[in-house]
Structure 1
Amino acid sequence: MPKAQVSMHTVRLVSCAWVILLAACSAPAAPTPRPTPPPPTMTSAPPTRPPGAATPLPTRSIFGPGERLPYVTQSGDYVDVLAVRFNTTAEEILAANPDLPPTATLPSGLAIEIPAYYFPLGGSPFKIIPDSEFVYGPAQLGFDLAAYLREQPGSVKTLSAFVNQKQRDAAGTLEYVARQYSINPKLFLALMEWRTGAVTDPRPQPAPFGPIPDRSARDWYLQMLWVAEQLSHGYYAWRTGRLTTLALPDSYSVRVDSYQNAGTVALHYLISQLVPREAFEQATGPDGFAAVYRALWGEVWQSPPDVLPGALTQPDLALPFEPGRTWTFTGGPHAAWGQRVPWAALDFAPAGVSGCGSTSEFARASAPGVIVRSGDSTVVLDLDGDGYEGTGWVLVYFHIAEQDMTPAGTVVTVGDPIGHPSCEGGTATGTHVHLSRRYNGEWLPADGIVPFNLGGWVAQSGPAAYLGRLVRLGAWVEASTSSTAQNRVYWMP
């Protein structure tokens, strides 16, 4: 059962210490030979904070260029991204830890050393939520959003919105956004409670997320889309090493603490756009948003599950159309959902279809599994067969026509029909299928640490979204919205 609920208005504002790193950074120098340390060893997680106890924050001390800093790996880490966060190189990390895999996700709990070259400013080391509380993943199994809202006194349950051609109640709207972005619905509820008390306060709140910078967000659904975009950018840009610094109001910036986790950085990125600079420290500290989240959902740091395991590999996947047919590769890596990141999706279109014309061709199952969700132009194929899309590998097919869509509960094998490609469900310039992957609720970038491989065709990103290639055995096809010899894909199993 949820813990006793509090809103932002009942949380005491207590300042937390923020460590400021004072020395200027320098570019990494060539590594000085050092004795090889022993292989990485597993270490237990730090003790969790008992309810009501003060939160001891780790301290960050000044260190010299190239000094080896102790670090315990976290879910989703890999060598290249650790090099970005600690302003060093992958080569130096591997030299200091020769048993680390250079091109794979690392298991959590490894005690390693990172030769670091630091930056002048460092952000708060306090961690707000684990990654498992960010994604719509294993930790949310069994959570009944509609039942939870019915039990709450707050006004949010009275809201509704017109979403994807349907009028939906509060639970339906929240579930739609949470599922499509794969963000924990509890996180949206806690943000509304923190900003306006909308979960526990019965007074009407037409804008439950409070004031946001996007003035075009005219209703609470559009507000939630804006919030989801910011959260997604913070999470996945930190995960992939594309975000290291936060821009705060008044032209102030702060470098994210190198030891942070993706779930916390997602909230830092969002909150940096919602509150004045002088309020950011408190809002991201133990007595800010974190206190509201704990009050609603309990102590989430007690043995949180990993989202991405070490040495994660993709199962065998086929191209999403019938063997012996020619389709066109119309979209290289681009956003799985929404406008920004992660670039987890690829687009394919049947040949001979002009614009948004209909087609008798089917998008096909790329792997065996069970259809766990079918509707809203989306079909979700669960590869582990447990019936829950938040665990293990899933494939998400989008822009699927409602007519002839394979229903939920259907067990499929490779090549079975999923549904007809179309323009339904969102912005599209031509009939196609939009295909992406998730593991434990987390989107996997198509050109990331676990590359998108479809029948031996491996995705490569281009300089902008939708550009890029599929490469196989030295040959490649270039993404293009026009059907040309350069982007046609023909395959045999």
Structure 2
Amino acid sequence: MRSYITPTYIKYGFIAFMVAILTFTSCTRTVPASAPWSTTTPAAPVQPTASPAGAPESTATPAAPLPPAVTTPVVLTPDLPTAGNSFASPTPDAPHNLPEIRTEPVEYTVQAGDTMRKIAQDFDVTLEEIVIENGVHPGAIQVGQTLTIPVHPPSPSGPSFKIIPDSEAVYSPGSVNFDVGQFIADQNGYLAHYDEWVEDENLTGAQIVQRVAEEYSVNPRLLLAVLEYQSGWVTQPNPDASTLQYPVGLENARWKGLYYQLSWAADNLNRGYYLWRFSAENTWRLADETIIPVSPVINAGTAAVQEMFALVDGLADWEEAVSEDGVYATYNTLFGFPFGRSIEPLIPAGLTQPVLQLPFEVGEVWNFTGGPHIAWGDGSPWAALDFAPPGNQVGCVTSNAWVVAMADGPVVRAEWGEVIQDINTPEAPADGLEQTGWVVFYMHIETRDRVEPGTYLHAGDRIGHPSCEGGDTTGTHAHVARRYNGEWISADRDLPFVMDGWVSSGASAAYDGYLSKDGNTLEAYEGRNETSKIQR
């Protein structure tokens, strides 16, 4: 089953004609068909050199409270500027190895579903450049037609000014001691008195900021800085009336209201962040069609801000937003010098995944229905895998099968179809926080029988039943992903999922992929067949 792991309010046009029998157990595919953080050619299945020992098996659901553990509290003492202690701009990163910018024209054959604008975006040229080169009207192209794609004229690299450290872009350990509600109340701006219905709940402004930060794993301080820069909602009691429906600046009726606006912002902050992480982007396309080469010496956090603002600003406004006088200055006013909060590296060299097991009970036969694909929204990396429970029914049906814990650790959150489990390891004992160390994200967990927050689980303990709750989905299944220090961890790159010795690998398209163990390989299949069956 394919689930659309955007929040349930996000509806993309193509969902309407998807047929459940054809897409039996799957998660939302809102990324491009050839997302740049995936492998660009089909990858051979990964063969593990050894099968890690399985985690302890159990089917009990303990009611015991979280056992005591030795924890290392996160205490940050940022080196904030004082009256005689100003900070220079952060040191540029060492140049990143970005994709080469095309220097020769290419021929392209129009495919079904293409538009001239989509083709222009795919090849980093403007719509006008293709029209002039080929002498065709933008709406007159036909499938099978050959177009010459010109080279966009060279231009200087974009700004190299570093705006924010990586740890202030993601929901990292640096956010642990930040009280979103208290901070917003202290500012006493419009946001402090705002509320909005989200699905079937009336949420305050603070609750919306917190929810978006948790869902997308984006730092709430960055969300607040973006919101303040764009609309003044954080500090101004009466912001400009023009900002009340679209406070982040995306004027689109589908994204009206604070929750929609912040969700869009968080999704595209993630997109810029992970595109940069994976050296997968070399230009920014601005809202006015200006194309700017990416500076190779920025960091992922800065790339996040540059990408998000590229989608709503023309050149002059974008250059202002990503300068020292833009989001950086707003953040500095609200929270102090951003790089004084830097925690590096978020992903330490040599990081290894803790021992995990498959997320279902011993003896049950499930189907591997989704290889590496988006974890949440459409800007996160391909960090998730999908599994469908036993049975022959299709679509969103009630299942009495159990999703079980993949490792030991406490449940941090259980809401909106999500269960977040902090993973306990000898190197990093569980502290009950989702911003630190390893966490596992379980999605589409039915409210019925779902585990309560604070419950300490051992590997194999029951979490809840697979369902269609928590996002658009074409059928009942479980969607699992991992994070470390707030970063989504890709399932198709350097740290694949390893579960009971099964190792994940990706292909050239989202949801395609493999699980391999001891010379055996399963290929993901959006439905039920013999070759995708998997059992503990």
Amino acid at match of 1:361: A
Out of 343, 351, 354, which is 1:312 matched to?
351
Amino acid at match of 2:216: Y
Amino acid at match of 1:231: L
**Aligned: 1:370 with 2:405:** no
Cα distance per residue 1:446-474 (max 9 Å; x no partner): 11221111112111223222221212223
Query: How far did 1:124 drift?
Result: 1.4
**Aligned: 1:278 with 2:292:** no
Amino acid at match of 2:356: L
The 3 A distance-change label for structure 1 pair 441 and 236 is same
Note the 1:434-449 alignment, pairs <5 A: 434-449=479-494
Query: How far did 1:85 drift?
Result: 6.0
Which residue of the partner structure matches residue 297 of structure 1?
A: 335
Which residue of the partner structure matches residue 180 of structure 1?
A: 215
Which residue of the partner structure matches residue 361 of structure 1?
A: 401
Note the 1:238-387 alignment, pairs <5 A: 238-302=276-340, 304-306=342-344, 307-352=346-391, 354=393, 355-384=395-424, 385-387=430-432
Amino acid at match of 2:432: G
The 3 A distance-change label for structure 1 pair 387 and 57 is closer
Write the distance in 1 (CA, Å) between the matches of 2:294 and 2:94: 17
**Aligned: 1:84 with 2:98:** yes
Write the distance in 1 (CA, Å) between the matches of 2:289 and 2:237: 38
Write the distance in 1 (CA, Å) between the matches of 2:259 and 2:271: 18
Task: Check whether the contact 1:156–1:208 (CA below 8 A) recurs between aligned residues.
Answer: no
User: Matched residue of 2:353: which SS?
Assistant: coil
Note the 1:8-157 alignment, pairs <5 A: 53=86, 55=88, 72=94, 82-84=96-98, 121-157=156-192
Amino acid at match of 1:330: T
Which residue of the partner structure matches residue 226 of structure 1?
A: 264
Which residue of the partner structure matches residue 139 of structure 2?
A: none
Which runs of 5 or more structure 2 residues have no equivalent in the other structure? 1-78, 102-153, 425-429
Write the distance in 1 (CA, Å) between the matches of 2:184 and 2:82: 28
Write the distance in 1 (CA, Å) between the matches of 2:158 and 2:91: 12
Q: Relative to structure 2, which stretch is displaced further, 221-230 or 247-256? A: 247-256
**Aligned: 1:194 with 2:208:** no
User: Matched residue of 2:433: which SS?
Assistant: coil
Write the distance in 1 (CA, Å) between the matches of 2:90 and 2:418: 43
User: Matched residue of 1:422: which SS?
Assistant: coil
User: Matched residue of 1:327: which SS?
Assistant: strand
**Root mean square deviation, CA, Å:** 2.3
Q: Relative to structure 2, which stretch is displaced further, 467-476 or 343-352? A: 467-476
The 3 A distance-change label for structure 1 pair 303 and 54 is closer
Amino acid at match of 2:286: L
Write the distance in 2 (CA, Å) between the matches of 1:391 and 1:161: 30
Indicate the percent of aligned positions where both proteins have the same amino acid.
38
The 3 A distance-change label for structure 1 pair 162 and 479 is farther
Write the distance in 1 (CA, Å) between the matches of 2:337 and 2:458: 41
User: Matched residue of 1:348: which SS?
Assistant: strand
Write the distance in 1 (CA, Å) between the matches of 2:489 and 2:89: 34
The 3 A distance-change label for structure 1 pair 54 and 141 is closer
Task: Check whether the contact 2:380–2:488 (CA below 8 A) recurs between aligned residues.
Answer: no
Which residue of the partner structure matches residue 31 of structure 2?
A: none
The 3 A distance-change label for structure 1 pair 254 and 48 is farther
Write the distance in 1 (CA, Å) between the matches of 2:501 and 2:292: 42
Write the distance in 1 (CA, Å) between the matches of 2:405 and 2:482: 13
**Aligned: 1:214 with 2:239:** no
Task: Check whether the contact 1:57–1:125 (CA below 8 A) recurs between aligned residues.
Answer: no
Query: How far did 1:86 drift?
Result: 8.3
Which residue of the partner structure matches residue 421 of structure 1?
A: 466
Write the distance in 2 (CA, Å) between the matches of 1:426 and 1:58: 41
Task: Check whether the contact 1:214–1:226 (CA below 8 A) recurs between aligned residues.
Answer: no
Which residue of the partner structure matches residue 534 of structure 2?
A: 489
The 3 A distance-change label for structure 1 pair 439 and 330 is same
User: Matched residue of 1:486: which SS?
Assistant: helix
Cα distance per residue 1:197-246 (max 9 Å; x no partner): 11111115523624315342122221122112211111111111222211
Query: How far did 1:58 drift?
Result: 6.8
User: Matched residue of 1:84: which SS?
Assistant: coil
User: Matched residue of 2:530: which SS?
Assistant: coil
Higher relative contact order (CA 8 A, sep 6+): 2
Task: Check whether the contact 1:164–1:376 (CA below 8 A) recurs between aligned residues.
Answer: no
Task: Check whether the contact 1:121–1:254 (CA below 8 A) recurs between aligned residues.
Answer: yes
User: Matched residue of 1:148: which SS?
Assistant: helix
Amino acid at match of 1:179: E
Query: How far did 1:250 drift?
Result: 4.2
Write the distance in 1 (CA, Å) between the matches of 2:347 and 2:324: 26
Query: How far did 1:408 drift?
Result: 1.0
**Aligned: 1:171 with 2:211:** no
Amino acid at match of 1:296: L
Which runs of 5 or more structure 1 residues have no equivalent in the other structure? 1-46, 60-70, 74-81, 88-118
Task: Check whether the contact 2:412–2:420 (CA below 8 A) recurs between aligned residues.
Answer: yes
**Matched residue pairs, number?**
395
Write the distance in 2 (CA, Å) between the matches of 1:323 and 1:54: 57
Task: Check whether the contact 1:369–1:382 (CA below 8 A) recurs between aligned residues.
Answer: yes
Task: Check whether the contact 1:460–1:470 (CA below 8 A) recurs between aligned residues.
Answer: yes
Which residue of the partner structure matches residue 403 of structure 1?
A: 448
Which residue of the partner structure matches residue 389 of structure 1?
A: 434
Task: Check whether the contact 1:282–1:288 (CA below 8 A) recurs between aligned residues.
Answer: yes
Cα distance per residue 1:335-364 (max 9 Å; x no partner): 111134311111111110522111221101
Q: Relative to structure 2, which stretch is displaced further, 248-257 or 377-386? A: 248-257
